[in-house]
Structure 1
């Protein structure tokens, strides 16, 4: 997967436009605040199912991305398996980069 989306995650985090932590992400999905959810490909089955099902129910784009180590490194935090992007601009840019890397 292309690493360019990881830079956008870092920017969004510094701008305060993301949510971390499974429960906080679920709440933001339910409240309609989450514009995009990224989940690490090595996330546990229950967490993966919970987040992808919530995103599906609430029509929030959800992408399974690199492993937790890569995702955590992009945020400068350890042990992170998921992130919700709360800003439409960051979400659109991430989606286009991820779609491009999937296609290409």
Structure 2
């Protein structure tokens, strides 16, 4: 059975995000949260125009299912990266 985070990574890859060795390794060891974060970063680096509906699902996963240390700036960094990807979205 595929979890929601893993399914989103698959959907992002199907939409054109070229996954790298880090994401593949993270998935292999079951670290799907980091794999999704890295996939979002790759989408930004690759300057892709992804479907708005897919990015809406990614945003919901990020906001409702991912946890960060309270003192970490990671949430803000991911939000900023995801916002850049959303600005280029199609549809």
Higher normalized helix content (fraction of residues): 2
Same fold (TM over 0.5): no
Q: Which has the higher contact order (CA 8 A, sep 6+)?
A: 1
Higher normalized strand content (fraction of residues): 1
**TM-score bucket of the superposed structures, by smaller chain:** 0.3 to 0.5
Query: TM-score, normalized by length of structure 1?
Result: 0.32
Query: TM-score, normalized by length of structure 2?
Result: 0.35
